[in-house]
Amino acid sequence: MPPRDPYLSTISRGTVHGTLLRARHLHDAAHDPSSGPQGSDSAFDPPRITTAVRGRTRLLAELTAAMDSGTPVPHVLAGPGGSGTSTVAAALAERARADGWRVFWTRAGEVPVGQQLDHSPEPWLLVLDGTDRPEALAPYRPRSGPGGFVLVTSRVQDPAVWDPAQMHEVAELDSAAAGAALADHAGEEALPGAEELAERLGGIPLALTLAGRILASHRVLFPDARALCKRLDEDGLEPPDTGSEPCQGRGLLSGIWDVALDLASRREPKAPALLRLLAVLGSDGVPVPLRRLDPGFLRGEPLPLSDRPELARAVNALVVHGLVSVHEDGDAIDLWLHPLVSETLCAQHERCAPFHELAERIVAGQH
């Protein structure tokens, strides 16, 4: 069950609502000199998995066997945006860490890790998450082999692009696995209509996550999965087609993220504007350090947030509905959007233009 007051609670974890903020954490981030703009915004820790990984047993077994055998080539998890490539990689990272491997998780171009790999006393797993350029693999190809395993997650599904890397397709979930995943995210052991709604959502893990968060947070409005399915069908909601290459992934979300954002805005009207700012600051899946959101920069249009408690409530409204996640690394706190969500928002150029200007003011002011 969620905390009694999820918007002002201390940080809490759960399979449904994830990590929530309170105003003190924004205050600490703003006044901690060790977390100033000169620090790195990147981390090596993989994302934490809060629910079972459904429908990927065979794939994880293949990856584990390849990792243990010392394969001489990198491996690539490829699938449309929102298909769960990062989740599979995170599950493998958990297995590797449990077996004594050292895990490095990064996005290509963020942090060079070659020296850490060369000097690691333990066998290591390197995950290059969200990488669509094969040249990003070049520094790490010679390091693959016994004691070292390179794994890439990508939306590029052409084997010729990645040759000689080993490709693994990450497709949509079948109806049984998708229904079970939906129930997991809703916090239910049995969820009437789960497979019906999962089919409506195309078996896409990101869509299932958002739907599950909606069902968990609005049990009166949506007492079961059929009620949410009916809402989608009645409204005919579809994500905006911006005409760019990854719009297939947007279409597979089947409008569910629009429902999530609408419900978040009913609780906190400024949540959609904050989401747009985070999409600009955190494009391409880059985490946004919480310290960047100094309320001193957020007191006018397009995001008039008056104080830290209001900012915390807006962040938590997005977290509760699965649109943003909060990652902790020691004293550092980062906010993260799924790349497909940030990409879709940023593709709406006119609506995002004011937030580009605000982001530039924030970055310039902090430096």
For the sheet with 332-336, list strands across it.
288-289, 332-336, 325-329
pLDDT < 50 stretches in the chain:
1-16, 33-43, 239-249
Is the distance from CB of 364 to CB of 358 less than 8 angstroms? no
User: 0.95 cut: is pTM over it?
Assistant: no
Backbone angles phi, psi at 152, to 5 degrees: -115, 140
Q: How far is it, in rounded angstroms, from Cα 311 to Cα 75?
A: 41
Structural domains of the chain in order of their starting residue, each with its CATH number: 1-39+173-367 (no CATH), 57-169 (3.40.50.300)
- For residue 161, the SS3 value is helix
User: In 10 A of CB 316, how many CB atoms?
Assistant: 27
- Which string of b and e fits 317-339 if b means at least 16 CB within 10 Å? bbbbbbbbbbbbeeebbbbbbbb
